[in-house]
Amino acid sequence: MSSQVLVRQKKMTFQKWVRVLAWRHFIALLAIAFALFPLIWMASASFDELGKINTQSLIPQYPGFGNYRALWSNPDQPYWLWMRNSVMIASINAVLQLAIGATAAYALSRFRYRGRKTTLMTILIIQMFPQLLAVTAFYVILADLRESIPFMDFGSPIALLVIFAGGALGINAWMLKGFFDSIPSEIDESAKIDGASHGQIYVRIILPLALPMLAVVALLSFIGTMNEFLLTAVILGGNQEAITLAVGMRQFIETDFQENWGAFAAGALIATLPVMILFIWLQKFVVSGLTAGSLKG
């Protein structure tokens, strides 16, 4: 009798699992397959030496490492120069946006002054408009500035970094401001009683506590700069020695008679390595921040 009850309980448990959990596992597997399919397709194309997208399949028809060798041996398409430019510009831009955004967010979070709400609302409204609308304005501004400020000229990475740094006052400052608001202001008051200035409070207290969100902002800034194409093409397109990876790799597929999708896929696959390395390095900060936030009472 007891064995029959156990069998029924096992059957009920399995039926409950099918009814409650099976569809969740199915959706999760479907989402994973949907996310991994482009990566698998790109990896397959990178090892297919035929280099034609219309004949590409999940299994390379002509497997080999020719596409990867092409990235090293073609002087007209210096892939590793583009990679170096991308990593340098993205790294510097991440630091600049982090410094400017965190400073602005601290001021918006801790200081009370006339026009503060208007500033916050303006930042939020500006984010509603796509960056595409500002390309013409940036072009006109640089055309006027290059006469008086030589380094603010087309083809200059400094000009591109100045434009990118201005974007730190947008969504980055808004996200960091929300995180700074969650840090109790009593900590600031205690530090002031001990004689700490606003600068000391910001550097020694606020920034260490906000390290998880700073890591997220730095990661997003780095990824956004690595992937940015339109504005970078407009500013740096005339200087082939300074263009980034997103702009330079277009040369692999820009004409119908010279399309090389194999080399393009190989370059795109290698381009994911800096982002993966940065994500793995910052992951511990993000995870620790999420864990601390879940225990916050």
Residue 297 confidence (pLDDT) above 50:
no
Q: Please say whether the beta carbons of 105 and 180 come within 8 A.
A: yes
**Hey, what are 222's tokens?**
């780095």
What does the alpha-carbon distance between residue 196 and residue 138 come to, in Å, rounded to a whole number? Answer: 41
Q: Which of 231, 229, 101, 91 is nearest to 160 (CA)?
A: 231
The one-letter code for the residue type at 230 is: L
Per-residue pLDDT tens over the stretch 42-60: 888 888 877 676 667 777 7
Tell me the pLDDT tens digit for each residue of 64-116.
Answer: 888 888 888 777 778 899 999 999 999 999 999 999 989 988 888 888 888 88
pLDDT exceeds 50 at position 5: no
pLDDT surpasses 80 at 127 = no
Residue 211's pLDDT is 87
Query: Does position 17 have pLDDT exceeding 80, yes or no?
Result: no
What's the CA angle centered on 278, arms 71 and 242, to 5 degrees? Answer: 45
- CA–chain centroid gap for 113, Å, is 33
User: Which 3 state secondary structure label does DSSP give 206?
Assistant: helix
Q: What pLDDT sits at residue 137?
A: 84
pLDDT > 90 fraction of the chain, expressed in percent and rounded: 7
Q: In 3D, which of 164, 159, 175, 163 has the Cα closest to residue 104?
A: 175
Render pLDDT for 154-191 as a digit per residue (tens, 0 to 9): 888 998 898 888 776 778 888 888 888 888 888 888 88
Whole-prediction pTM value?
0.82
Q: What is the torsional sign of CA 105, 109, 114, 115?
A: positive
CA distance 244 to 232: 8
